Structure 1
């Protein structure tokens, strides 16, 4: 059995090395645990379902420039042509899409007297083809009828009498109650709107908005003002890229008095929306790997230095009967003690760092198991790192005890 007192006595003769390695281990534990937690949060964020068919869906924008350009007439022609293209399942006008990071938001209130809305909501303006084109899942109620589709301009006041809500928004407005037929206000100065359908899920465009991300309202109106319009199209499976090129060419051919632009798949929109999160995950991954490598090298360097310093002492122990296994176990135990001191400090530092992140960046509380898992990882890493110098120490011959330094 190894005794702890001789190990501690040997370590106390190299206090500076002990403190430096312990501090390095503590910092590594704190940074690695919190970085892994941030990576897991970002991965969960990026994995949230948008509520639409992303694989087969794309958007195209159109902006007119001719003196006689008529937006509403152009939209009618475009939609008739696009919906008739072989390979296109459906098409609809839309102001924005989930994941696109831009759009229209509004406050949803239950009464006219409210000073602040009950919940914020993203607004999607579509016609009766909108839900089918998006591939959104209607879980209650019904879709819009063609006679319910209106047109919104800059001068429009109020909101349509019937709208469709995302399920999370409906639950925030009426917890535990069937929302179909319920009325609420998108404008407390205007008439209320009634819920005629529920979709689940349907993300808002702003992927980093915690309050807004799941709250969406689908409105039966087409934007009929200005010169720009955006269409969303869903192709047959596997034909998206080909249909995106075809639709763009057909639109340019149909009306030369406009510019057809911004053809983009929803998968590309998702990639762009989460580009910063992906970059952060890569950077944190590199930081984690670098810290673990640097910590392992520090342990190797410290152990190698101590083996060199104690060569005569090790030879003496061998001459007195210590086996190679005993020398190996001594250095492994010594490193285990050093690592444990560092991990105690690192545990406090890890939770303290997480508390600081919660206070200043509104992150979630790190689950308890991250730190124990980090400690186990660093214990294993420390033992692997010291194994080389420890084996070199165990091969010191007893004859080294007779050599002068």
Structure 2
């Protein structure tokens, strides 16, 4: 089929062609970048926390009354929880991954170092902390009971020994074995010796640039009469244990209130609620844009078919087949779509560049635009198919009598 008659016809409908082309261009630019952002959010949400999320839950306990002894209560609670059927491990802790709140600290290689070598979160746990978190120890050893410090609120954190994640070890001692090395918390002596390395335990802050940097410290620092517990159950028994926790602890000591029990799956869902909402909104925008673009193509093609009924009939009378008419409108749509896609490719990369400069977003991968080309070409051909089929069915005799 010669393109000259098609291009000549398009030049007589410049406004419609430009409007559809611009619509296609904007759709490509927005859809490519929106899909890339959705992909980033989904990758973000799928990051492993390093915790046994399916079998673990946490809760707080807040005592009241003049004679309430928080430290004695913690010891009693740990004993009660450890002996509950279905409980595999229990530990006190100040925070957990993905919770949004915790203790951040700088790690330095030298005392009084002006700028910390890296940042880390601090998880204060007892000797069963790693097992309760489900963190995988890949080097060194776990804490011993005698190493767990009984701290007071306001004490300066100076642990003799610590356990760090692999990310911290790599940052502090790249290419070296970090076991036995000494580091400084908050740049102040005395030093803390690294006795163990865990594969992964994320920070509470999901947007942190150092989200994999975590440090376990042996000890616990009660906040007034409040304490927090992390419990890991035997596989499949989490809900069974949760149903008994408040009753058992209230029987042990009624002078306190048990806070809301949250599973680690609840914590993850709340931590990534914003990412989930963004993905849903962008997905709805993509669907809306593609629908509007398809409807625009359908409307334009239908209008042109109505306008060209006599022309179509004349071509049919001169020997054009139904397939020729169908191919004519599909080719016409392909030309308009291609024009829009070329402009859209420039807009897509320009928008990505703006995102990089304004929000430190990664560069849009090159293959998103070619895939977008193919998808929008296919969408355009599907959208024009209905009007093109109607055009191909115009009877020559009726068309030649139209006025």
- TM-score between the two structures when normalised by the length of structure 1: 0.98
8 Å contact from structure 2 (residues 200, 212) kept in 1: yes
Matches within 5 A, 1:86-165: 86-165=85-164
Matches within 5 A, 1:220-239: 220-239=218-237
Secondary structure at the aligned position of 1:40 is classed as: helix
Unaligned 5+ segments in structure 1 are none
Separation in structure 2 between the aligned mates of residue 234 and residue 272 of structure 1, nearest angstrom: 20
Question: How much does 1:189 deviate?
Answer: 2.5
User: 1:318: which partner in 2?
Assistant: 316
Q: Which moved more, 1:15-24 or 1:185-194?
A: 185-194
8 Å contact from structure 1 (residues 164, 197) kept in 2: yes
8 Å contact from structure 1 (residues 128, 149) kept in 2: yes
User: 1:285: which partner in 2?
Assistant: 283
Separation in structure 1 between the aligned mates of residue 50 and residue 157 of structure 2, nearest angstrom: 27
8 Å contact from structure 1 (residues 99, 205) kept in 2: yes
Question: How much does 1:113 deviate?
Answer: 4.5
Deviations 1:40-98 (A, max 9, x none): 10110010111010000000110111111111100000001100111111110000001
Secondary structure at the aligned position of 2:260 is classed as: strand
User: 2:255: which partner in 1?
Assistant: 257
User: 1:364: which partner in 2?
Assistant: 362
Q: Does 1:7 align with 2:6?
A: yes
Q: Which moved more, 1:393-402 or 1:314-323?
A: 393-402
8 Å contact from structure 2 (residues 136, 199) kept in 1: yes
Secondary structure at the aligned position of 1:364 is classed as: coil
Question: How much does 1:404 deviate?
Answer: 4.2
Question: How much does 1:236 deviate?
Answer: 1.2
Structure 1 residues 226 and 318: alpha-carbon distance in aligned structure 2, compared to 1, 3 A threshold: same
Structure 1 residues 235 and 158: alpha-carbon distance in aligned structure 2, compared to 1, 3 A threshold: closer
8 Å contact from structure 2 (residues 112, 188) kept in 1: no
8 Å contact from structure 1 (residues 134, 234) kept in 2: yes
Separation in structure 2 between the aligned mates of residue 75 and residue 401 of structure 1, nearest angstrom: 91
Separation in structure 1 between the aligned mates of residue 47 and residue 248 of structure 2, nearest angstrom: 34
Question: How much does 1:355 deviate?
Answer: 1.1
Deviations 1:101-158 (A, max 9, x none): 1100001111224321111101100000111111110000000000100022233124
Separation in structure 2 between the aligned mates of residue 114 and residue 366 of structure 1, nearest angstrom: 39
Q: Which moved more, 1:333-342 or 1:248-257?
A: 248-257
User: 1:182: which partner in 2?
Assistant: 181
Separation in structure 1 between the aligned mates of residue 74 and residue 338 of structure 2, nearest angstrom: 69
User: 1:83: which partner in 2?
Assistant: 82
- Number of equivalenced pairs: 403
Separation in structure 2 between the aligned mates of residue 300 and residue 399 of structure 1, nearest angstrom: 26
Select 1:248's aligned residue among 233, 246, 249: 246
Separation in structure 2 between the aligned mates of residue 336 and residue 151 of structure 1, nearest angstrom: 74
Deviations 1:152-184 (A, max 9, x none): 223312411110000011111111111111111
Secondary structure at the aligned position of 2:259 is classed as: strand
Question: How much does 1:190 deviate?
Answer: 2.2
Select 1:302's aligned residue among 297, 300, 303: 300
Separation in structure 1 between the aligned mates of residue 222 and residue 350 of structure 2, nearest angstrom: 54
User: 1:39: which partner in 2?
Assistant: 38
Separation in structure 1 between the aligned mates of residue 33 and residue 399 of structure 2, nearest angstrom: 48
Q: Which moved more, 1:44-53 or 1:222-231?
A: 222-231
Give the aligned CA root-mean-square deviation in angstroms: 1.1
Separation in structure 2 between the aligned mates of residue 224 and residue 275 of structure 1, nearest angstrom: 30
Q: Which moved more, 1:197-206 or 1:358-367?
A: 358-367
Q: Does 1:196 align with 2:195?
A: yes
Runs of 4+ displaced beyond 6 Å: none
8 Å contact from structure 2 (residues 106, 187) kept in 1: no
Matches within 5 A, 1:18-57: 18-57=17-56
